[in-house]
Amino acid sequence: MLTARQRIIQRAAKEIEDGMYVNLGIGMPTLLANEIPDTKTVFLQSENGLLGIGPYPYEGEEDPDLINAGKETVTAMTGASYFDNAESFAMIRGGHIDLAILGGMEVSESGDLANWMIPGKMVKGMGGAMDLVQGAKRVIVIMDHVNKAGEAKVKKECDLPLTGTQVVSRLITDRAVFDFTDNGMVLTEILSDETVEEIRAITEANFTVAEHLVNEGVTE
């Protein structure tokens, strides 16, 4: 049986298409680098100045000078490019990133994202998230559906400081997939063995259910 994290990563990997330029956020999203099949040519970009990130290195083959934005050692694909931070952010702000897959602390029913700080806790800075949610052509957020206390992270309104308003295109949790449309938040897939009503019980946000919900045998 898949763990909650594996379920999220495997579902999110389906969003990456051949030929895309993709930025993977710090944390869980970076695991997607190992899920891209050899049949796809995908260009992974990192804010610290690398285009062409490969899978994580094998133990003992790490290069301490080759890191991603989260300071994790990575590999570089053949033909990878290195550049300064300013040029990296010019790529992002210029709309050249097809897809950003980011982690989240909270997502609201209107597609607002909070993912850069918790008040009272020390943070190094906001990183590139605020630029990515505005500059990337499409933003997908991946996160657990509830926090460690069992409280909803999919909320009517975010309580934490916002990274961006109405910026999320799709939310993938360990329980479900939601799209954000002109008609509001829509449940499109259930990834667990729960019913729609059980998903509602752990979701503070209001949402409608897609006509063709991907979850065989589950009804309202």
- pLDDT one-digit tens code per residue, 176-217: 999 999 999 999 999 999 999 999 999 999 999 999 999 843
Does position 141 have pLDDT exceeding 90, yes or no? Answer: yes
Per-residue confidence (pLDDT) for residue 70, from 0 to 100:
87
- pLDDT one-digit tens code per residue, 38-51: 999 999 999 999 99
Per-residue confidence (pLDDT) for residue 48, from 0 to 100:
93
User: CB-side exposure of 2: number of CA atoms within 13 Å?
Assistant: 13
Give me the domains of the chain, ranges plus CATH numbers.
Answer: 4-166 (3.40.1080.10)
SS3 category, 173: coil
The mean per-residue pLDDT over the stretch 113-142 comes to 89
Average pLDDT over the chain reads 94
Contact indicator for 160, 106 with CB cutoff of 8 Å: yes
Per-residue confidence (pLDDT) for residue 65, from 0 to 100:
92
Main-chain dihedrals φ then ψ at residue 148, nearest 5 degrees: -65, -25
Measured CA to CA in angstroms, residue 118 lies from 107, 111, 121, 125, 190 at distances of 14, 19, 6, 12, 29
Edge-to-edge strand order for the sheet containing 139-142? 76-82, 50-53, 43-46, 21-24, 99-103, 139-142, 170-172, 176-181, 184-190, 208-214
**Is 47 marked active-site?**
yes
The catalytically annotated residue of 15, 47, 106, 109 is: 47
